[in-house]
A and B are shown apart, each in its own frame.
Chain A
Amino acid sequence: MMTNSILRRRRNELVAGVLVLIILAVLPLPIRDVYTQNLIILTILYAGLSQAWNILGGYCGQISLGHGLYFGIGAYVSTMLFVSAGIPPTIGMFAAGIVGAVAALLVGWPCFRLSGHYYAIATVVVGEIGYLLFLNWDFVGAATGLYVPFHGENWAALQFRTSKLPFHYVVLAFAALTWIVAWVIEGSRWGYSWRAVRDDVTAARSLAVRVFPSKMAAAAISGFFTAIGGAIYAQYVGYIDPDSVLASSFSVLIALPAVLGGVGTLWGPLVGAIVLIPTSELTRSYMGGAGGIDLMIYGGLIVVIALARPTGLVSLLGIRKQVGGANAAPT
């Protein structure tokens, strides 16, 4: 029975998700070395960010190369609230998420009228506009950026002197939340509509799928979580400026794990992040002095994966692409 097999698979995925969550929760406990802890935190953070991107770029098929904008907005909103109004980032990050969602809707309103490559190009331009706005906006520190003041250990403000463990659980909660949202979407009516929009707009429309609202809803959810990720990142790094949170390279960094791991799959963003982030960090730390060999290895890896596995790394693991998707096996 088709429905039964789908239900069983979804249940299995949920079980796998819980197992992975448990593994990731105990993973840092034996690790005393700050560098490795940092590596794991970044990997999980990017897995979460990329999952947020995946909701729009993967499930709804709208390839956005401007997600750095929502990330930056999230970083700026929570930091501004903290610096100028004293609102702790644990609350500020949700305000950041809402602003990020609104921004995604504002960007989507004109841009979703474009299709395919034209949409992707438009998002690049919008991201760049955002970068320039913040670079010249004195109220948010313009090019000088914003320092996050350190007032001693404080959970509400997500500030910890040298311990990394609390942040590990913050990013893990964030990544788990994005995963759950993606899982729910995958099995929901919305998820089916979005995938229909992705696969064939005309066919979707003929089945009474409301294309534009579908895209807008996906964008809002995606923007919301991307902005929350940005807010967490700002607290983690302790300093933000337009170059470090709004640069176009961030838009690519957010999309890359999902693209390499497998677009529109539940596990793609995590698998992609596990491969990409440690590669980039380790090669820099241990080969960075050699004049860019690390960047060559990193770039080469991306090219190899793109050529050998255009459907993403998860296809290597034998995980089927997604429920009812174009590549799903016949049942």
Chain B
Amino acid sequence: MKRLWVAMAVFAAGLSTAHAEDILIGAIYPLSGNASQIGVDAQAAVGVMSDIINTDHAAIPMLLGKGGGLPHMHGAHIKVIFADHQNDPQKARAEAERLITQEHVVALIGSYTSATAATISQVAERYEVPYMAMDNSSPSLSQRGLKWFFRTSPHDEMFTQGMFDFYKAIGEKTGHPVKTVSLFYEDSIFGSDSSNVQKKLAAAAGIKVVADIKYRANSPSLSAEAQRLKSADADVVMPSSYTSDAILLMRSDNEIGYHPTIMAQSAGFAENSFLTSVGTLADGVMSRSSFALDAVKSRPAIPAVNAMFRARANKDLNDNTSRQIVAVQTLADAIDRAGSSKPEDIRAALTKTDIPGDQTIMPLKGVKFDSTGQNTEATPVIQQISGGAYHTIYPFDIAVQAPVWNVGK
């Protein structure tokens, strides 16, 4: 009996030391309500990166891909605690406070929507805890002089810049430059931010905006809008839409026999449900992306990481989930280099981050934060649909196939 007690005491001691080494990170996502799928996928992605860092496995050719915990922290594990913000800034704020004060997390990650990132970043600022925006793309987030805000992925201005860089490059390559564009965008923060940048960059590139169409998100019908797009007849139509509107736009265009060249601001156009329900109608559609599943040559870690993600979520990595993986990787790298789980040490290490692109799974040049916390080396790619899937067509050096370019023909 006595021996059993001793054994239990030893076991308990072992458990408690294992927990003492865990580095706690708080993740705030929509886990219920209409955007819950995003949160569920984020749980899978964050779980995959935690496994890669914490567990013993065959080495994956990326930063922290060897496993076995954080090397400079005596093999400490990272542990991510999830909280649900239901897409409500007030709830996001309350959960951020709870994670910091009750769960004692040393950093926060999140949060998909810009409105929730706005309040989480304010809490992080007040409690002086680093906040890593993993998949928020609103430029305004990193333009508020926040000290504790970091973002590994591109923001909307960088994404849109990528599209216009592509127009310039393809124009020079084929001799058929883009002269006119039609803007088509939904009326929430995503669409309005996106269209504002597009107007600015179009003007800078000398491209004429021949139609500027704002529509109500989740519209029951887009027939009138499709007619306006058809009569404007721009070289390229640039939609910023979520899934249901993206599907409706493709169908409405098709009904009136209009088949424009499309350059989408990702979102709905990148969703699997878009690809499956629109089918061959979507062939030739282009979109910006922060991820290229097919860029295996320049990013050798992709197959292994994607296989792990598939095992959890039964789907491939996409624009959002790849960003979440790289954000967790970047944060864990900073904690490891800091050799400390104190928030101010982690922040100091984050500001000195310098990760080459090929050490990640994203096609970005690298990870390096400027004084606003934005990764300045976050470069997007342009992809095009053929055969029901996206393939990378730009930048040309990591492209896997030549673009189908019908402008000017």
Contact = CB atoms under 8 A, between A and B. Distances in A.
> Do A and B associate with each other?
yes
Interface of A: 33-35, 38, 42, 132, 135-136, 142-145, 147, 150, 161-162, 233, 236-241, 243-244, 281, 284-285, 288-289, 291-295
Interface in B132-180: 138, 140, 144
Interface string B205-221: 00000000010100000
B318 interface: no
Interface residues on B, range: 35 or more
Given A147-B144, A291-B36, A239 B98 contact: no
A241 B33 contact: no
Nearest to B140: A144
Interface in B84-101: 84, 86-91, 93-95, 97-98, 101
Contacts of B114: 144
A145 B115 contact: yes
B84 A38 contact: no
Contact of A284 (B91, B97, B214): B91
B192 A142 contact: yes
B101 A144 contact: no
Contact of B138 (A132, A144, A291): A144
Contacts of A238: 93, 118-119, 122
Contact of A144 (B33, B93, B102, B193): B193
B101 A34 contact: yes
A317 B241 CA distance: 51
B155 to A, nearest CB: 13
Interface stretch (B183-191, B260-268, B324-332, B363-371): B183-191
A144 B189 contact: yes
B127 interface: yes
A260 B261 CA distance: 54
Main secondary structure of the interface of B (DSSP, over half): helix
Given A35-B97, A244-B90, A239 B82 contact: no
Interface in B19-48: 31-33, 36, 40, 43
B125 interface: yes
A150 B128 CA distance: 14
A281 B118 contact: no
A305 B270 CA distance: 43
Contacts of A150: 122, 125-126
B286 interface: no
A289 B102 CA distance: 17
Nearest to B113: A243
28 contacts: A33-B102, A34-B97, A35-B94, A135-B188, A143-B187, A143-B189, A143-B191, A143-B192, A144-B192, A145-B115, A145-B118, A145-B189, A147-B118, A237-B89, A237-B90, A239-B122, A241-B189, A243-B87, A243-B188, A244-B115, A284-B91, A285-B84, A288-B84, A289-B84, A292-B33, A293-B32, A295-B32, A295-B33
Given A135-B188, A142-B192, A38 B94 contact: yes
A35 B94 CA distance: 7
B83 interface: yes
Contact of B31 (A135, A161, A241, A289): A289
Contact of B82 (A136, A289, A293): A289
Contacts of A281: 91, 94
Given A132-B216, A144-B138, A144-B140, 14 more contacts: A33-B102, A38-B94, A135-B187, A143-B193, A144-B193, A145-B118, A237-B90, A239-B118, A239-B119, A241-B89, A244-B89, A284-B32, A291-B40, A295-B32
